[in-house]
């Protein structure tokens, strides 16, 4: 497995954020997801005039990868245009729970490149997942 450099992954998330389609909120989010082979999947939030179909950057990245047949992930980096740390919403945490293990790493970066590191288990404890059915 390729070693993950969190700063590199944050840089990729910033690149992804440039592709955000967010005319309604004006809030851009970028995500960079890395699989266990070291391949990176970029995601940006994509909004909609009808609001509900809006998809977060994290889910765009995850769904891109899953639709390419990839389901083994190591980490995701997330950045938001607000400048503060942008943590994944509840829906995205649930989607991570579907495909990622407890030790999946989540890096949040603020505008000064300070990085907070969490595991999925830390951000989404006592959750419901595929093994609970
Ligand atoms: N958003 C994300 O893309 N990821 C998050 O973790 C939080 C929120 C998006 C959804 C919407 O397009 C905008 O940010 C404002 O909520």
User: Cα(56)–Cα(20) distance, rounded to whole angstroms?
Assistant: 10
Residue 29 CB–ligand 1 contact under 6 Å: yes
Query: Hey, whose CA ends up nearest to atom 8 of ligand 1?
Result: 56
**The pLDDT of residue 44:** 99
Q: Is 65 helix (H, G, I), strand (E, B) or coil?
A: helix
Query: Nearest 5 degrees, angle CA 44-CA 13-CA 46?
Result: 5
How far away, in angstroms, is 6 Cα from ligand 1 center? 21
Q: Are strands 40-44 and 73-80 parallel, antiparallel or unpaired?
A: unpaired
**The pLDDT of residue 3:** 61
Question: Which residues is 34 bridged to in the sheet?
Answer: 40, 75
- Residue 28 scores a pLDDT above 60: yes
**The pLDDT of residue 2:** 55
Question: Looking at the chain, which runs of residues are DSSP E strands?
Answer: 29-35, 40-44, 73-80, 105-109, 115-119
The answer to whether 58 is a known catalytic residue is yes
Q: Residue 61 contacts by C-beta under 8 Å, 6 or more apart in sequence?
A: 16, 31, 32, 33, 41, 42, 43, 76
What average pLDDT does the structure give for the chain?
97
Residue 22 CB–ligand 1 contact under 6 Å: yes
**The pLDDT of residue 52:** 98
The predicted-structure confidence for 55-111, as pLDDT tens digits, reads as follows 999 999 999 999 999 999 999 999 999 999 999 999 999 999 999 999 999 999 999
In percent, the amount of the chain with pLDDT more than 70 equals 97
């Amino acid at each position: 497995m390729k070693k993950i450099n969190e700063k590199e992954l944050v840089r990729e998330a910033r690149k992804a954020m440039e592709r955000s389609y967010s005319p309604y909120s004006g809030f851009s989010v970028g995500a960079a997801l890395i699989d266990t082979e070291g391949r990176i999947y970029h995601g940006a939030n994509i909004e909609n005039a009808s609001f509900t179909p809006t998809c977060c950057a994290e889910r765009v990245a995850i769904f891109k990868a899953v639709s390419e047949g990839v389901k083994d992930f190591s980490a995701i980096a997330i950045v938001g245009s607000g400048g503060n740390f942008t943590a994944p919403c509840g829906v995205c945490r649930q989607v991570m729970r579907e495909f990622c293990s407890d030790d999946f790493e989540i890096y949040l970066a603020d505008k000064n490149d300070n990085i907070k590191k969490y595991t999925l288990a830390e951000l989404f404890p006592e959750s419901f997942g595929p093994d609970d059915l």
